[in-house]
Amino acid sequence: MGNSGQLGYMTSIFELLDFRKFNSPSGAVLQNFSVTEVYIKRAKKCLSKVMRSHWTTDLDIETLKPRRSWASLAELQTVISFHIPRYKIILDECKNKSPVVSATNLTFATRFLAVFMFFKVKGCRPMTYLHLTVSLFESAKRNKGIVDQTTFKTAKKYGFDSLCFDEISLDVDNYVRYVRPLLQPWCDYSLVNRNGIQFQKLTEILSILVFQAIGKYVHPTRYRQIIETESVQIFNVEEQKLVSEDQKHSSNVARVHYQKLRSRDVAIKGRTCKEKLRGLHGAKMNTCVQQLKQEHCSEHESKNDNETTPIPETTTENVSAQIHERRGQFIERGIKRFGARWCSILRHPEYNFQPGREARTLRLRAIQQKLI
């Protein structure tokens, strides 16, 4: 159970105690309730301290990369290119009114369009797209591509979540015109599932399509974190705030990244200031240390007879590739032993999969490597 789950569990116990108090229990029971509440409060304080201590580690980019939970913006731009050939085929079938357009293909078209809008229009809250209606989308054509959405998760704070569709983004009209009618919609929402009702689970769908394209786990919140984090390299402070407000999101990952960059910048400038503070005495100390270093290097070179041994370079990319290959071997061995029983493969102690790995991702990985 994660930290948030533990907090929720303790909150539920608190609510249960309040409910029992309402029923007028005896004095002895009330005393036990009071003791329990004290212990729960202490546990919540301890858990909060643990969460704060792990905050900078768990949300650090260097921690997320080995878990394959972080990708560059350039990598994410290839997701649409990876899936667009299949979408074109499905769209042509729908345009030609092919009698055999499977429900699976129609569902994929809806999923692709949702991910396309998320990457091309704006990485906003998923609810913004889930509650996008056909009438709102049609109004964008008359309003210079602007849609003012009022139904999204943080609507109380921001009020409006405006979407700006350009000419390429307005190509969504092809989906509305040719694909959506075949799903026989019962509602006015633009994105509908095979039952004709409102499309859901954009978070899960985005993760699946991204994993199929680049083999990494990126959900909508992670994508917004990537946008805000990479913006620090290009934008100034005002532009960064603008991006954050536009996404209706405040990223703790980006905040940790900013703090790290700020700390490094302060360390470099602080070192320069300390050098000025040391003055001539500091310069003499640096000279002595430099002479000692040169003497040590000359002695070391004489011992080795000027022979140099190449040191193999170990990069993060090489380590990540090795881990990726080893886990692929785990899946291959697991299929030979258990067949397509992905849960059995995932739980087997011989295969060291990373924590949080799900059975469906093993199946997708096996399909990607053509093991099944």
pLDDT of 46-68, one tens digit each? 887 777 666 566 667 777 788 88
Percent of the chain scoring above 90 in pLDDT:
0
- Residue 177 DSSP code: I
b/e code 164-177 from CB counts within 10 Å (16+ = b): ebeeebeebebbbe
Residue 156: the pLDDT is 65
pLDDT digits (tens, 9 = 90+) for 185-222: 888 888 888 888 888 877 788 888 999 888 888 888 88
Tell me what pLDDT residue 311 has: 47
Is pLDDT at 313 greater than 60 in this prediction? no
Q: What is the mean pLDDT of residues 141-165?
A: 68
- Count of all residues that appear for the chain in the document: 372
Tell me the sheet residues that pair with 147: 163
More confident residue, 147 or 83: 83
Look over the chain and give the mean of its residue pLDDT values, rounded to a whole number. Answer: 76
Highest mean pLDDT among 266-280, 304-318, 341-355: 341-355
Q: Taking residues 240-251, report their average pLDDT.
A: 64
Q: For residues 91 and 51, which has the higher predicted lDDT (pLDDT)?
A: 91
Residue 56 is predicted with a pLDDT of: 60
Confidence bin at 160 (pLDDT 50/70/90) = low
Cβ(330)–Cβ(351) under 8 Å?
yes
The secondary element (H helix, E strand) that includes residue 250 is: none
What is the pLDDT, as a whole number, of residue 339? 79
Model pLDDT, residue 346: 80
Burial class (CB in 10 A: 0-12, 13-18, 19+), 133: middle
